[in-house]
């Protein structure tokens, strides 16, 4: 029975050709004494690597494991090297196999079998790297879907042919022409570069935030400048890796300029406004601000487009940077953290009101959060009310009268206790009811 491959689809013909080629290679290996000797060397290399790993791995783990709680540079390096200990077995097997390959090529003039085994050990090392060592989710995904397929092609000997085929396939985009291989290389390199850029940006940002001697606005500006520099450098490196000349991006830059002029005006305005805010230091993270609309909150995050405010009730308000430039914003933290508050109260008309200011001012001054500068507590008469004489005490404190700082509540208790201690009555509404033409009783 014969099977006509010529009548089958092209993909089946290629698969059959690869299968026949693999069968011929396997048959040659099975019938060749040199191949059997190479199989023996592979087994011997693996067994020797396994025996050495059993003895060396516990020693390396003890040597590289630092004492608990140590954060020195040496301890960090030891922890970093410790995570690569699982690669010891495949790398030792690869090294011993490489020595065996040199011996077989010198004796038999051939080393295809042992070279294949050496590639298999590298594939196993890559598999261990992805499954056991890499912990970052993005890098693990990149290793699973990019590194392992590439290493599998390399182990089977198809990598060079695959690269040649991909280099032959070209795609044109206007005046720019590039191969499919360059696109794949750009995707891989871009993913790695921008992951490195993100990691570098996080490390740089954390380092800048720890510089307490720098003003908050300067720290924010330095962090943003570092972010732009890191990702700009990553973009330039990616263009160089893909082989795209920067001059060819002139048309794209012109299109972006037109887009900014029409559809992206607000985005550009917000970005530039954010830079101005950072340079002038008018508002930064930690400032408590009140918007022109009446909403207020603490700035918890700044982005290239907007400021994010958190209110006392936990809501987040996203305010475009342009609003901080073009509208009226009250910044309670801009000129320092001292703020003035007042608490109103009333006393009975039977009270000698000349005594009230000294009593209340002395009582409020005992609060540990109340300041004597810029002004000490000040009790003022406000009005003759319907039920009593209205007063208010003004006082200065550091910070805001928010959830954690109950300044007004504490001062209210002090006023109550002081008035009670001096037998001063706090009035309540009283009404006199006059009955006219009331019927007389019998």
Per-residue confidence at 428, pLDDT binned at 50, 70, 90?
Answer: confident
User: Which of 115-119, 182-186, 438-442 shows the highest mean pLDDT?
Assistant: 115-119
Evaluate if residue 426 carries a pLDDT over 80: yes
Q: For residues 41 and 103, is the Cβ–Cβ distance under 8 A?
A: yes
- Write down the pLDDT at residue 97: 84
Query: How many angstroms separate the CA atoms of 97 and 42, rounded?
Result: 6
Instruction: Provide CB contacts within 8 A for 347, sequence distance 6+.
Output: 353, 356, 388, 389, 391, 419, 424, 425, 426, 427
* pLDDT tens digits, 321-358: 888 888 888 877 654 567 888 999 999 998 999 999 99
CA distance 85 to 91: 10
Q: Label residue 1 by pLDDT band (50, 70, 90).
A: very low
Handedness of CA 254, 259, 265, 266 (dihedral sign): negative
288: β partners: 298
Q: Kindly report the three-state secondary structure assignment for every residue of 139-189.
A: HHHHHHHHHHHHHHHHHHCCHHHHHHHHHHCEEEECCEEEEHHHHHHHHHH
* Mean pLDDT on 414-426: 92
Is there a contact between 335 and 413 (Cβ–Cβ < 8 Å)? no
Average pLDDT over every residue of 180-190? 79
Rounded mean pLDDT, 106-135: 81
Residue reference for tokens 């009331």: 438
- pTM summary value: 0.51
Convert the pLDDT of each residue in 348-400 to its tens digit.
998 999 999 999 999 999 999 899 888 899 999 999 988 899 999 999 998 77
pLDDT digits 0-9 by tens, 240-298: 776 666 665 665 566 666 665 655 667 777 777 777 777 766 777 778 888 887 788 88
Write phi, then psi, for 343 (nearest 5 degrees).
-125, 120
Poorest-pLDDT segment among 196-200, 209-213, 304-308, 365-369? 209-213
Instruction: Round the average pLDDT of the chain to a whole number and report it.
Output: 78
Residue 8: pLDDT band with limits 50, 70, 90: low
Cross-strand partners of 319: 307
In the block, which residue shows the tokens 């994010």?
308
- Tell me the pLDDT band of 99, cut-offs 50, 70 and 90: confident
Average pLDDT over residues 97-119: 74
Nearest to 398 by CA among 335, 312, 331, 336: 336
Q: How far, in Å, CA of 104 to CA of 269, rounded?
A: 70
Distant-in-sequence, close-in-space partners of 162: CB < 8 Å, separation ≥ 6? 153
Q: How many CB atoms lie within 10 A of CB 413?
A: 12
Cα separation of 236 and 259, whole Å? 22
pLDDT digits 0-9 by tens, 54-78: 888 888 888 888 877 777 788 888 8
Handedness of CA 305, 310, 314, 317 (dihedral sign): negative
The token duo for 314 is: 């936990």
With cut-offs at 50, 70 and 90, classify the pLDDT of residue 19: low
């Amino acid at each position: 029975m014969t099977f006509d491959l010529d009548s089958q689809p092209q993909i089946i013909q290629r698969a059959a050709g690869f299968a026949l080629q693999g069968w011929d290679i396997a048959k040659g290996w099975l019938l060749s004494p040199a191949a059997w000797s190479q199989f023996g060397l592979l087994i011997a290399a693996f067994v020797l690597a396994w025996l050495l790993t059993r003895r060396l791995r516990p020693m390396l783990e003890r040597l590289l494991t630092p004492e608990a709680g140590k954060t020195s540079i040496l301890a960090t390096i030891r922890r970093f090297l410790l995570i690569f200990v699982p690669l010891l077995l495949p790398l030792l097997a690869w090294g011993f196999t490489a020595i065996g390959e040199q011996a077989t090529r010198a004796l038999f003039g051939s080393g295809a079998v042992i070279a294949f085994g050496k590639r298999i050990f590298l594939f196993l090392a890559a598999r261990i790297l992805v499954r056991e060592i890499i912990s970052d989710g993005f890098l693990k995904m990149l290793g699973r879907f990019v590194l392992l397929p590439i290493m599998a092609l390399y182990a089977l000997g198809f990598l060079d042919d695959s690269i040649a085929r991909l280099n032959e396939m070209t795609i044109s985009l206007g005046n720019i022409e590039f191969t499919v291989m360059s696109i794949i290389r750009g995707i891989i390199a871009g993913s790695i570069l921008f992951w490195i850029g993100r990691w570098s940006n996080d490390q740089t940002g954390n380092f800048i935030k720890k510089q307490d001697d720098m003003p908050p606005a300067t720290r924010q500006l330095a962090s943003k400048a570092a972010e732009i520099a890191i990702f700009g450098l990553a973009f330039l490196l990616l263009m160089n890796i893909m082989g795209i000349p920067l001059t060819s991006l002139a048309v794209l830059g012109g299109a972006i300029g037109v887009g900014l002029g029409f559809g992206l005006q607000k985005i550009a305005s917000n970005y530039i406004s954010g830079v101005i805010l950072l340079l002038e230091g008018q508002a930064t993270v930690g400032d408590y601000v009140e918007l022109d609309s009446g909403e207020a909150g603490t700035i918890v995050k700044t982005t290239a487009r907007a400021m994010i405010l958190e209110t006392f009730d936990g809501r987040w308000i996203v305010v475009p940077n342009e609003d901080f430039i073009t509208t009226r914003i009250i910044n309670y933290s801009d000129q320092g953290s001292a703020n003035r508050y007042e608490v109103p109260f009333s006393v009975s008309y039977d009270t000698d009101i000349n005594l009230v200011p000294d009593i209340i001012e002395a009582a409020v001054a005992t609060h540990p959060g109340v300041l004597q500068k810029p002004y000490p507590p000040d009790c003022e008469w406000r009005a003759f009310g319907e039920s009593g004489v209205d007063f208010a005490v003004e006082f200065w404190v550091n910070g805001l009268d928010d959830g954690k700082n109950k300044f007004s509540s504490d001062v209210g208790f002090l006023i109550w206790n002081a008035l009670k201690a001096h037998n001063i009555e706090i009035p309540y509404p009283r009404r006199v009811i006059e009955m006219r033409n009331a019927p007389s009783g019998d």
